[in-house]
Structures are given as C-alpha cells and as structure tokens.
Amino acid sequence: MRIAFAGKGGSGKTTLSALFTRYLADTGLPVVAIDADINQNLGAALGIEADAPARVPPLGAHIREIKELLRGDNPRIGSADEMVKTTPPGRGSRLLDLSPANPIHQRFGHRAAGATLMATGPFEESDLGVACYHSKIGAAELYLNHLVDGAGEYVVVDMTAGADSFASGLFTRFDVTFLVAEPTVRGVGVYRQYADYARDHGVAIKVIGNKVCDAEDVEFLREHVGDALAACFGQSRFVRAMEKGQHPPLEHLEEENVKTLAWMRDTVDARPKDWAAFTRQTVEFHLRNARAWADKATGADLSAQVDPEFVMGPEELEKQASA
C-alpha cells in the first residue's frame, strides 16, 4: 500500500512519517520511505548518520537514468527524452516490485530504521532561479507509476508542505493520504484545500491531529474537518524527542500513540487495491500534461505513449517475470 503524509510546514508530518515508517518496518515487512519534501529531513528523522545523504544518489538528480531503466523496450516510447514524469507504463516497460532485486532500490536506496529510504534530493546551485521542485518530485512519480506493490508491502512518502502536491498527478498515487493537522486555523486550512482539490479523484484523506493538548483541541479539529478526523497524537515526550533529533527505541512510545499507529496501519490495509482505477488516473494526468506542456516540450505526440491494452498490476508483473 502507498501512504502519503501531508500537511502545512511545521505540522509534524515528517516526524509522523518517520514514526509510521519505523512502526511498519518493526513488523519485518518490506517498507520503502521516500523523502519528497523540499526540506529533505526524513532521513534525519529516521536516524541515519549525518553524512549518509551525501552517499545516496538523489532520485531527482538522475531522472534520465531512471527513465532509461523504466522505458525498457516499450515500443511506444522512442527514447528517454520523450518520457516525462507522467509517462505511463505499457507493454515492454520495466515494472518494479519491492523485492531486493528492485534496481531503483539498489541504486538509490539506503537502509534506515529497517526501511529502504530514497530521497528526491535538495535544490542544487544550478536549480536556483531556473527550476521548480516538481522537476525532482517527477522521479518519485515515475517510480510509483511503475511500482506493483503487494499485500504486506508499504511505501511511505513525506510530501511537500501545503497543497503544492497538487501541481502534479502525484497526489493520486496513494491508497491513503494522512493529513497531519495541528488544532489551528492554518492547520485545518490545508485540509480544506486538499479536500477541495481531491474531491473528484477518489483520494482517501484521513486527518491525524498532532500536538493536541486536550479535549478542546480535539473538538476544534472535529468541528473543522468532521468525520475526516481519524486519530490524534497528544503531547508526546517520545515525539518531542524525535523532533529534537533523538531516536528512542520504539518500545518507549506511549501506549495510546502505539494504538494510533496500529489504527493507521489497519486503515491502510483495509483499503481495496483498484489497479484499473490507478491505470485510468495515470493515463488521465498524462494526457492532461501532454496537452498543457509536454507535447511542445518534447516535440512529440505523447498521447501515443498510452497503451490501451495495458492495465497496471500483478498480472503484468508476472508476465514480465516469465518473459
């Protein structure tokens, strides 16, 4: 299952992304964590050493390499130069799973708290004034578009702050989006933006209250987000230690917060996987981008990249394995 963590800057989404990643990885099941936030703090929240990010190639800096790999021998894609962040897989494309043989994980992954951590990467000096961060997030979108995840497998993505994620189709790539909201006007405002933008796209949004002090805070959140409020993290000494850069053992997490994490996992596991809908959305946003800018940018008719006979999912992954 794919899980996004979103929220305004400072809401605690990166801390809770890391905490949920640790909780899932503690079960021994495959977990991938992707830092897709411009601030790139997920690795530190997972406790990796300070110089580790410099040794892990960022996805966003190697997007052509990723395109070449994922293109495979798909006859509808003439070259990597004709691939954009929304290019959908088709027959002949290289599909990915969460096995140790995944070439993206081998090239760009780093072990952290029992999970495989990947990062889209920070802004470079050459990016300043000439590029937006979506050029780097596009690598994560391509990865998710080509990934077939199975039962008991998880991908946790720490998203960019605020509603900026809606500048691409990335927001539709998840089974559940946990929106972390403080009990403040600004905190619930991001939820309203998400709910408005996602309304017509089947995106499941669950609000996780954070930094909640008392029943009055809970009531404030419930008043503004209604039934979307799923659970709350209170004033946690464990979480506070994480936000200070400490990494206490998970067994020290408060019992109520452990129950919250268990509920979050149950919520994710209960979501049905609809590969046909996933494929339709992939194609929809690709065609939208092709018309808006990508055809002109590449000099090609990118609608021709859509394989009408292809439905993403386990059956296509099995075909690739047996080929």
Q: What's the pLDDT tens digit per position in 193-217?
A: 888 888 888 888 999 999 999 999 9
What's the pTM? 0.93
Cα separation of 202 and 224, whole Å?
21
Task: Say if CB 66 and CB 59 are below 8 A apart.
Answer: yes
The CATH superfamily of 2-311 is: P-loop containing nucleotide triphosphate hydrolases (3.40.50.300)
- H/E element, 17: helix 13-25
CA end-to-end span of the chain, whole Å? 26
Q: What's the pLDDT tens digit per position in 274-289?
A: 999 999 999 999 999 9
User: Has residue 46 got a pLDDT over 90?
Assistant: yes
Q: How far is CA 17 from the centre of its chain?
A: 10
Could you tell me the CA-to-CA distances from 58 to 24, 35, 39, 51, 124 in Å, in that order? 23, 10, 13, 14, 11
Average pLDDT on 317-321 reads 93
User: With pLDDT > 70 as the criterion, what percentage of the chain qualifies?
Assistant: 92
Average pLDDT on 58-78 reads 95
Q: What's the mean per-residue pLDDT of the chain? A: 90
Q: Name the one residue in this structure whose structure tokens are 């998840």.
A: 174
